Structure 1
Amino acid sequence: MYTTRTPGRHWLEDVAEAAGLRGLALDPNPPFSQVRAAWAEIAQRSSLSEEALAERVAAHFRLKLADLAAAEPHAAKLLPEQTARKHGILPLRASDQVIVAATADPTNAHAEQDLQFLSGRRAVFQVAAPGPLQDAIDHCYSRSRIIEFVLQNLAAEVARDDVEIVRDQTLGAPADSYSDTRPVASLVKRTLRQATAVGASEVRVAGTAEGGQVQFRIGTELQHFMHLPYPALVRVVRRLKELARLDLAERSGPQEGQFSASVDGRRFVMRVRSEPGRAVESVVVRVTDPSLRPTLTDLGLPLAESDALRAVLDGPPGLVLLAGPPGRGRETLLTAFAQALVPLGPVTLVDSSLPAPLADIRQIQADPDAGFRFGEALAQALDDTPTAVVLGRLDDPDAARLALEAAGSGTWIVTAVEANSPAAAVDELAPEEVGPERAAHALRAIVQHSSLRTLCPHCAHPVQTMDRLPSRERSLASAYGVTPAAHASGCESCHQTGFSGETLVTGTVAITDALPGAIARRAFAEALESVERHTLEEAMFDRVRSGQTSLLEVERNLPPTLAVVVPTRTRPRILVVDDSPEVRLLARTILEARGFDVDEASDGDTAVMHLEMNDDTSLVLLDLNMPRMGGAEVLQRIRTSARMAALPVVVLTAEQDPNLEIELIEAGADDYLRKPVDASRLAVRVRAVLRRAGSYDALLGTALSEAPVTV
């Protein structure tokens, strides 16, 4: 630690007085902004440049002058950006034991402590002027610089004749073809291409002034696709609004539009909705295939579930209530019911987002944001006295009253509410201002629904014994009393997720016998307990028993009241991978003495199998040179797995090659240690990497499919 000559004063105050600048007051450990302002004032009063002043400061503290241009990019990975900007320090290079960083304030004890704490190395400071140092930090941590490089590469990969951009306001409007070779246009096209390749139903783009991310909704899960720095985030949002012909200047309210995209000869409709945000708007793109017009037969439901739905339609007309979370089969079921009701007479479909035209079905588009609410759209539909109205949702009590009156008078009404149980669905349908008596008279059935991701057919395999399942799935199997028939560990076809596609799941409650009276008395939940029925939860477990999905997927989608609590570990768990029993024993002894749980693997194959079967590993301590599968290949497998990509890895190596550090960091290692292993250094390094893993998001590359796309 470097100290000032005057106790109780910051050294810059002494320098300011020597330059004839009085009244300068700094905190004992001032933030970088204070240091930078003080440097500027002192340099101006002394008629020195900041760089010349830096030379004198370095000489005064007997430190080296930092060469900012020689900063090694991989060194910055050892210090989170937020900490670098807070203290105004930039890692220049690092060895196994020492990290060298540039600073404008070599007496800042907090900066030194944080640098050592987060890097797990002894800190050595070199002096740099604040202005150039700030520029170097901006350059080194600039994700916009990285994303521009990515965008340029994407633009180079997509030949001009590969992609034709087509915008249309509606499905029936003439196409407006034009060429756009901007990098952001290429990024958007590649994102849409990847979304269709993995079967995503939504693309979500959102963030803050710090940056944002692109997510895909695959089945019921939102999966990370790409981090975006703020400048790129703004451009991607603008590009999507531009394609959907939304008002680029309007940012204070939601907007909706659409465009079509042809991917490998297959046409999709992209429905775009923008929402206002503090720093940047968010955009949701719903990916729909207009050629898919599901009927009840096309839903692929087991016989018991499809028979229950058909039994409802064979009964007297009334209201059928779909209950489930949004985006999990609602639109599919609404369209299927609409087509199933066509043989009975005229059918009208009312929703805010309509599918492609359906034969013999009239369509009315509600627009609540523009004042055309669902109740008004329903009233317009009922003016033509249809046999059935399929209504996207009930957005106010007036709409609910009108729907119940029509259903009670002999019109089929199929509508949806967001609820996770039949009782909650009835409460949503008939609050106090509507009255339970109306619901008791008109309600014919409640169809609970959800969707589950299905196991990838390319990597799914039968479960021979329970000990071959991941640890958490074994715990769930015991808790629920359900034995999974299959397990998928992930492959290239499913992007290492283990899932491909999704399946609809339903549970139907027919409102018969004593249930109408129970609804009128608001005792529906109690009465339902005595009714024999095949519940949505049991239907989910059936999918596990048949090998379609996993218990982990079911657990994610069960209502909170039905989910079981499986104990999780509270101590970090380290997997030590080394072919030397002595090294494994040494690492175990060191780590367990410092509060870690430890697992061992003697080679790469065993390590990968362990990670696939256990999801409680906190960090991997990985030797490079091993039989069967080397450490480099294990590292690659971890970084290309959707489930394990963020798992911290510290590499152990006996090699002394000075370039090895750069190669390891670029390959995806979070840090490295040279053998022989030092006890204190190992524990410090492991803790430092775990701390960084909790505060630092790395840009993860995502494999992009290569199918031609037309937007």
Structure 2
Amino acid sequence: MSATVHAVHWLVGVAQRAALPGADALATPIVTDPAAAWHDVAGGCGVDAELLAARVADHFRLPVAQLRTAQAGARKLLPEALVRRYGVFPLRADDRHLVVATSDPTNLNVEQDVSFASGRHVTLEVASPGAIADMIEATYSPEQSIESMLKGVRDPSHTLTVVEEEEAEAGPSADEAGTGPVVQLVNLILQRAVDRGASDIHLQPAGNMGVVRYRVDGVLANSGQMPLPALNRVISRIKVMAKLDIADHLRPQDGRARIMIAGRTYELRISTVPARGAQKCVIRVLDAGRASTISEVGIPDAELVRLRRLLSFRDGMIVVTGPTGSGKTTTLYAALQQVHREDVNVMTVEDPIERELPGVTQIQVETRQGVTFASALRAILRQDPDVIFVGEIRDAETAAVAAQAALTGHLVLATLHANDAIGAIRRLADLGLDHATIASTLRGAVAQRLVRRINPACAEPVDDQTPLTDEEERLAIAFGTRPVARAGQGEAAYRGRLPIVQVFEATPDLTQLIAEGKAAGLIEAAAEAAGMRTLRTVGVARVQRGETTLAELERVLGDVDEARAEAALPVPTGAPRGTLALVAASIPDVEQAVPHVLLADDDGANRIIARALLEAQQYRVTEARDGQEAVEHLASGELYDLVVLDLDMPRKGGREVLHALRADVASAGIPVVILTGSSDAELETSLLEEGADDYIRKPFDPRRFLSRVKATLRRSAA
């Protein structure tokens, strides 16, 4: 009769060989995970984890790990996922070796996978699972990663305060989202948006990174990137500010928050949606303290006169059309200020309320509570209103109630989605209003777009010798200035935006055409004959005055019609001729198919070798011949997955560029590898502590160079 052999854990054998008390009675199964096995053996033998670690180290002839003296920069050489999977912790590194602490020296996969991730040979030291876990939690938490990323970031000139912030629902993520580093990073993102005059902030996953983008003057551009775990924490913090459910990652959510910077209040409209790999968050930034009057909006004089006439009516409907972000609400809020007086009862129904208007009753649409545009509008009619603002006429029911209000002695202002002012008539008909009702209620319609204004600091005069572009030849447009981007001076070719406005007034003759259901083209022709200017005509006039460019106008409106423009604006004899410096308004594709590497080295031979190696791996490579050129590339808005910097370069050295990268929240999360000709271990350690993710000694071995680059990219992706 054969005896059954029960395999026991290797740690039991170590305890028995070390003659620890009670070791012979242990029967911990071989499949027990390291943490549980250490707990069983230490408890069964009556020893602490430190003593057991010393016995394990003696058994395998390995040193005992001194976790508290670990190099701060060594953690950058291993991704968090790998560290947690194997229960290891990086202790110190040099150019070729990495020392890690482990509680299981028998796991042969540790050396192989850690070597692959770091690009170095691996040496093991022994520590208990509990001690390693404590170091991992203290070092690799997302908050610690964010704190490390922000270590060199310059403090903002103004403090940011969240106004009337309430506690979010209890939950572990709420506490994490409110920790110091996360709050600091969110505040920096918001302050940067305000400083740049951004109307929207986009936070979204892009491949293996999180990307921050700002919409400034209507153009969306990349502004920075961060690791995905940091992005998730940032969005959680924003959801806390907006009082959203931070545990719900699967459904779209909308909320609002209010912040104060330098004594000025800003409203934030926040929208989150689930996306692949993370959430996407868009924040609309509204200056709550900016309350423009109708004369301050920037509407051209001719259109302003027509709009004032419309606002002088005591009843009827005025609709403002245009795409999202075209300034409709700003114009309507200014119009409400125009009509609001002590003897006028103004009420609004909005979704959302974008700005508080003193003395105006504003109702927020709450669909889940049954408060829709139509139901709120019906309730308003029982509140003795004089002027009603409807945030959007989006369905037949709202259109019918708005028309009823206009017919019963109320002035109704509303927004509507249509391509131009005449298109509002067709849109109201599509929503179920008959032509007779439209003719009886519609006082007028306003169409609006926003174009970027030429920055006066970047405008320069042109003369008769400057050749016309194809667009200018086609339209024969004359103007006196052109925008020129001044690289390195912090000036953009465009700054601020101008409204392009079309105002349709429903005169008796035009009302008759509407009632008869005439075609839009006929109504438009009659309206132009009565003095209405089209969006294109108004826009071309701004081009001729040198306020904007034809390229910008066609970006917003599409191709400008030649016949209309020439008829509207004949070129005076002897007028100065100009040209356009086309300023690209393209939005870089954030979903990059391959890694993009910025390679900065003043040694041309090194650049040739490194570029060839990287491009052989199908990487995109952008070269810089010195540190200053590298900084200019980084400031261009292009996204980089990795920056490789030579330590010693003219104009700006690699260390100086590294400090500049880490001092700006937009670039603080970009991985950086330093090329150094020094063998000074202290220098290499200090580079890691100052923000480098790795370093490579020169002259570099091609295989080791690629290994380090790939390892850094893998760690960034993890």
The two structures have a TM-score, normalised by structure 1, of 0.65
1:21 to 20, 27, 40: 27
1:662 matched to which residue of 2?
Answer: 685
Separation in 2, partners of 1:509, 1:538: 11
Q: Describe the shift of the 1:656–1:440 C-alpha distance in structure 2 as closer, same or farther (beyond 3 A).
A: farther
The secondary structure found in structure 1 opposite 2:404 is: helix
What displacement does 1:680 show?
Answer: 0.6
Alignment of 1:601-616 (within 5 A): 601-612=624-635, 615=638
Shift of 1:382: 3.6
1:135-534 superposed matches below 5 A: 135-144=134-143, 197=195, 199=197, 266-268=263-265, 288-290=287-289, 292-301=290-299, 318-323=316-321, 329-341=327-339, 346=344, 348-352=346-350, 353=353, 355=355, 357=357, 362-366=360-364, 368=366, 372-383=371-382, 388-394=387-393, 397-407=396-406, 411-416=410-415, 442=441, 447=446, 449=448, 460=458, 485-487=483-485, 489=487, 502-503=496-497, 505-506=499-500, 508=502, 510=504, 534=534
Change (3 A) 1:59 1:309: farther
Whole-angstrom distance in 2 between the partners of 1:163 and 1:489: 31
| Pair 1:689-2:712 in alignment | yes
Q: 1:595 Cα shift?
A: 3.0
Q: Is 1:649 paired with 2:672?
A: yes
Distance of aligned partners of 1:105 and 1:554 in 2 relative to their CA distance in 1, 3 Å threshold: farther
Check the 8 A contact 2:396/2:431 in 1, yes or no.
Answer: no
CA distance in 1, matches of 2:522, 2:54: 81
AA at the equivalent of 2:104: D
In 2, Cα distance between the equivalents of 1:306 and 1:678?
70
Range moving further from structure 2, 97-106 or 217-226: 217-226
Q: Which residue in 2 is equivalent to 1:467? A: none
Q: What is the root-mean-square deviation of aligned Cα atoms in Å?
A: 6.4
Query: What are the within-5 Å matches in structure 2 for residues 48-87 of structure 1?
Result: 48-87=47-86
Q: Distance in 1 between matches of 2:545 and 2:118?
A: 47
Equivalences for 1:108-119 in 2 at 5 Å?
A: 108=107, 111-119=110-118
Distance 1:548 1:342, change over 3 A: same
From the superposition, tell whether residues 456 and 147 of structure 1 become closer, same or farther in structure 2 (CA, over 3 Å): farther
Amino acid across the alignment from 1:297:
S
| Residue 131 of structure 1, CA deviation | 0.9
Match of 2:609 among 586, 605, 616: 586
Please give the secondary structure, in 2, of the residue aligned with 1:677: coil
Contact 1:216/1:225, CA 8 A, preserved across alignment: no
**Distance in structure 2 (CA, Å) of the matches to 1:195 and 1:167:** 21
| Map of 2:466 onto structure 1 | none
Spell out the pairing of 1:80-119 with structure 2 (5 A cutoff).
80-108=79-107, 111-119=110-118
Larger radius of gyration: 2
Change in 2 beyond 3 A, CA 1:599/1:332: closer
**Distance (whole Å) between structure 2 residues aligned to residue 523 and residue 15 of structure 1:** 93
Shift of 1:342: 5.7
CA shift at 1:138, angstroms?
0.6
- Identity of aligned pairs, percent? 31
1:126-183 residue CA offsets vs partner (Å, 9 max, x unmatched): 22211111001011124546889999999x9999xx99999799xxxxxxxxxxxx98
SS at 2:130 equivalent:
helix
Figure out how many residues of one structure are paired with residues of the other and give that number: 628
Contact 2:393–2:414 at 8 Å: present in 1 too? yes
Contact 1:64-1:127 at 8 Å conserved across structures: yes
* Partner residue in 2 for 1:31: none
Distance in 1 (CA, whole Å) between partners of 2:302 and 2:505 is 17
How far has the Cα of 1:64 moved from its partner?
A: 2.7
Which stretch of structure 1 is more off in the superposition, 411-420 or 661-670?
Answer: 411-420
Amino acid at match of 1:338: L
Return the letter of the residue paired with 1:503: R
| Match in the other structure for 1:707 | none
Amino acid at match of 1:676: P
Please say if residues 320 and 446 of structure 1, whose CA atoms lie closer than 8 Å, have aligned partners that are also in contact: yes
Q: Residue 388 of structure 2: SS of its match in structure 1?
A: strand
Secondary structure in structure 2 of the residue aligned to 1:651 = strand
Q: 1:604 to 1:382 in 2, by over 3 A?
A: same
Query: Residues 652 and 392 (structure 1 numbering): CA distance in 2 closer, same or farther, change over 3 Å?
Result: same
**Contact 1:453–1:499 (CA under 8 A) maintained in structure 2:** no
TM-score, normalization: structure 2? 0.65
Give how far 1:573 is off.
4.3
Paired amino acid for 2:69 = A
Deviates more, 1:89-98 or 1:58-67: 58-67
Specify the code of the residue in structure 1 equivalent to 2:294.
Answer: L
What is the rounded CA distance, in whole Å, between the counterparts of 2:587 and 2:234 in structure 1? Answer: 41
Determine helix, strand or coil for the equivalent of 2:673: strand
